[in-house]
Amino acid sequence: MKVVISGSFRKHLSDIIELKRCLEMDGIEVLKPNNIDVIDNQENPEFIKFIGEDTKSEYVLEQEYLEAIFKSDAHIIFNKDGYIGTSALIELCVGAGNYAYTKKEYEKGLFQSTNSKVYLLEPLNPKYFDQEVFHFVQYLLMKGDVKVGVYQMYQDFGMFSKKKIK
């Protein structure tokens, strides 16, 4: 099984790395992040880069992330306390098979098929989103395009965790 983890590396890097380690202990291949060692990104300290990414632009790294989502079986959005940043929200929508960010755009059919299933770490917290985005993600949850919980992912793929995971 192949997984991508998206989320705010700047806010939750140590927790994301811990989740990556837990998944790998269970035999799950984590495509992204594919490294745990961070480098000093002097060009943009807000954008986390890992060893081996120092010569790559942010655009190239974001494209690599999107490509990994298309290759993955599952896509975990690490939304601790219900927070999802802009990049992770875009990745959530792509992982759910569309480039739409509102229900109106979704209904227009801005889709691209993915093999990935999307899982939020936790339910969304409405205080972090404008109402339209919040309702759109709720709509994706209602349709089953997005689910909540890494434990749910394990169940969906018929797997068992060696370590307690939410």
Task: Say if CB 99 and CB 93 are below 8 A apart.
Answer: yes
pLDDT at residue 100, as a whole number: 53
Count Cα atoms within 13 angstroms, Cβ side, for 114: 28
Per-residue pLDDT tens over the stretch 24-54:
999 999 999 988 877 777 777 777 877 788 8
Per-residue pLDDT tens over the stretch 102-136:
555 555 554 455 567 899 999 988 898 888 888 88
For residue 39, what are its two tokens?
């480098």
Per-residue pLDDT tens over the stretch 142-153:
888 899 999 999
For residue 103, what are its two tokens?
């229900």
Mean pLDDT, rounded, for 73-79: 93
User: In what helix (H) or strand (E) does residue 120 lie, and over which residues does it extend?
Assistant: strand 117-120
Contacts for 80 with CB less than 8 Å, ≥ 6 apart = 7, 11, 12, 15, 121, 122
**Distance (Å, whole) CA 27 – CA 99:** 31
For residue 16, what are its two tokens?
């994301």
Nearest CA to 150 out of 136, 135, 164, 134 is that of 164
